[in-house]
Amino acid sequence: MGNIETTYDLPKDLTTFKVVGKMRIVDFYDCLEIYYEGGVTPLTLWDLTEADVSGISSDEISNFAQYSRNFAEARKGGKTAIVFNDSLDYGLGRMFATYLELADVPLEVHTSRNLDDAKKWLGIDEHMIAESMVYKIGSCIQKTETGELDRTRSIDLIHELSVAIKFHKDQHILVDLRDASVQTDIQDLMAFAAECAKFRSEFDKKIAILIPNTEERIEAAKRFRSCMDVQGFRLKQFFDYEPAIDWLSVEE
């Protein structure tokens, strides 16, 4: 069974869909509906270099192109690049692009066998440093933070997550801080929790935080959780990704 992971890079106005495994046409229908419900970017990159779409028929592709026309006005004037490895899959991609043209979809569509070529066509500058606003959508909003997470950067992180929440209101949050250096002073933790409280009315889902398994970080995590509990958030810390996802997946 295949999977589609969605990554948003807001400074670049780009959404990347990483498609892996054997796909059905219904998987693309579901992905498209969720994407347009949550908010769109002018540029989209579909990376199918690790996907198998050989089971999708030409009739299904034609119908999907017509269906895509219903959503395309939201991205009028935008650009979509689709990248394949396999020659057969590339042929199906060219067929899809042709059907979109026939359906008069108001987007530019480019198919390629090379990711660099596709990014160049989209006008993406890989030297542009924009990590602060990059997050992923899978089973939840996922944000990985590295470097020093001081008070200023912590406040910025809250604001960035609030933007993601507006795009995806029904998603839980997973923040990976295992490679980040964080403030452990109780005053900083209280200030961080107080800033989070400003967005409390917009968010009632769970928050999972990944931390390194060290005594200092465990103690800091306990203090931070106490601060967040006071503000009414459902937050829990984990050392590993899988238990965090399991906890987020269980509705309470």
Task: Indicate the pLDDT class of residue 127, thresholds 50, 70 and 90.
Answer: low
Q: In the predicted model, is pLDDT for residue 178 greater than 60?
A: yes
- Please report the pLDDT score of residue 126 as a whole number: 62
- Please report the pLDDT score of residue 138 as a whole number: 65
The matching CATH number, chosen from 3.40.50.10540, 3.20.20.10, 3.20.20.70, 3.30.750.24, for 3-122 is 3.30.750.24
Contact status, residue 40 vs residue 33, Cβ threshold 8 Å: no
Contact status, residue 39 vs residue 167, Cβ threshold 8 Å: yes
Q: What is the CATH number of domain 139-249?
A: 3.30.750
Contact status, residue 82 vs residue 111, Cβ threshold 8 Å: yes
What distance in Å separates the CA atoms of residue 82 and residue 53, rounded to the nearest whole number?
13
Task: Indicate the pLDDT class of residue 141, thresholds 50, 70 and 90.
Answer: confident
Q: Positive or negative, the Cα torsion across 173, 176, 182, 185? A: positive
- Please report the pLDDT score of residue 7 as a whole number: 86
- Please report the pLDDT score of residue 129 as a whole number: 45
Q: What is the DSSP letter of 6?
A: E
Q: What is the DSSP letter of 242?
A: H
Q: Which residues contact 48 (CB under 8 A, 6 or more apart)?
A: 19, 82, 83, 84, 85, 89, 93
DSSP run (H or E) holding 181: strand 173-182
* 3-state DSSP of 68-92: HCCCHHHHCCCEEEEEECCHHHHHH
105 token code pair: 């979809």
C-alpha pair distances (Å), 236 with each of 124, 181, 222, 225, 248: 36, 19, 9, 7, 10
- Please report the pLDDT score of residue 252 as a whole number: 66
Q: Positive or negative, the Cα torsion across 27, 30, 32, 35? A: negative
Delimit the domains of the chain by residue range.
3-122, 139-249
**Average pLDDT over the chain, rounded to an integer:** 84
Which has the minimum average pLDDT: 16-25, 99-108, 203-212, 228-237? 99-108
CA–chain centroid gap for 106, Å, is: 24
- Fold match flag (3-122 vs 139-249): yes
Q: In the predicted model, is pLDDT for residue 19 greater than 80?
A: yes
Residues in a beta bridge with 14: 9, 43
